[in-house]
């Protein structure tokens, strides 16, 4: 097998795993969580709204919370998991991806993809870590109990990357389809606040 064919086969295998994961999403009615999300909106003085597709077959919950001049957006739909997003303006290039060591990640590691180690056996076994700045990523994970919170709540993905379209960085945290405990969501919101504090305290944020 030549190198080009080998690369195509490897890519096809990765795409198959991604397709299985996407198609494996289970439909869950998020509308039943509307009262909980309204309580969270009241608690954090946020803006809550429910959206529907044109065909009205898919519901989407959105909660916008302000914290230190930054906007935290929570979303969850009938087919997609709980997600937290923050737009950041940084004064240096800093990107990372922290995700479960699931089947896709294991395949990517076999192909030589970077995997940063934190020295925490439990964390390193569960998560694949990639970054353009390993030292800063380690400092980030070890600040404000962030690493412990990621493990405690079994966070699926924590990703920071630059968007050329918006000319800013987007931080995205993905949880799961089953989070409906108010106290857990409050902890996760405070987790996002601690991330913002990290960027401010380390003076790598513009605003």
The total domain count for the chain is: 1
Rounded to whole angstroms, the Cα distance separating 192 from 172 reads 10
> What average pLDDT does range 10-23 have in this prediction?
42
Q: What's the pLDDT band for 144 if we cut at 50, 70, 90?
A: confident
pLDDT at 36: 97
Q: Within a domain: residue 206?
A: no
54 falls within a domain: yes
Considering the domain boundaries, does residue 83 fall inside one? Answer: yes
- Assigned token pair, 49: 């709204």
Task: Output b/e per residue, 54-84; b: 16+ Cβ within 10 A.
Answer: eeeeebbbbbebebeebebbbbbbbbbbbbb
Residue 186 placed within a domain: yes
Residue 207 lies in a domain: no
Query: Range of 144's domain?
Result: 3-201
Mean pLDDT of 117-139: 91
pLDDT in tens, 42-91: 999 999 999 988 777 789 999 999 999 999 999 999 989 999 999 999 99
Residue-wise pLDDT tens digits, 145-167: 999 999 999 999 999 999 888 88
């Amino acid at each position: 097998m030549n190198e080009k064919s080998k690369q195509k086969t490897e890519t096809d295998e990765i795409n198959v795993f991604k397709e299985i994961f996407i198609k494996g999403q289970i439909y869950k009615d998020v509308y039943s969580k509307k009262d909980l999300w309204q309580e969270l909106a009241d608690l954090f003085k946020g803006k809550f709204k429910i959206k529907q597709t044109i065909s009205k077959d898919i519901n989407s919950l959105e909660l916008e919370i302000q914290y230190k001049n930054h906007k935290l957006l929570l979303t969850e739909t009938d087919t997609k998991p709980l997600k937290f997003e923050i737009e950041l303006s940084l004064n240096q290039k800093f990107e990372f991806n922290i995700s479960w060591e699931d089947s896709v990640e294991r395949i990517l590691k076999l192909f030589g993809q970077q995997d940063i180690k934190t020295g925490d056996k439990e964390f390193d076994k569960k998560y694949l870590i990639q970054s353009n700045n390993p030292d800063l990523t380690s400092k980030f994970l070890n600040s404000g109990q962030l690493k412990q919170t990621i493990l405690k709540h079994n966070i699926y993905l924590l990703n920071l990357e630059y968007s050329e379209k918006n000319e800013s960085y987007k931080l995205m945290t993905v949880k799961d389809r089953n989070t409906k405990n108010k106290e857990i969501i409050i902890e996760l919101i405070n987790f996002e606040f601690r991330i913002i504090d990290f960027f401010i305290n380390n003076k790598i944020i513009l605003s």
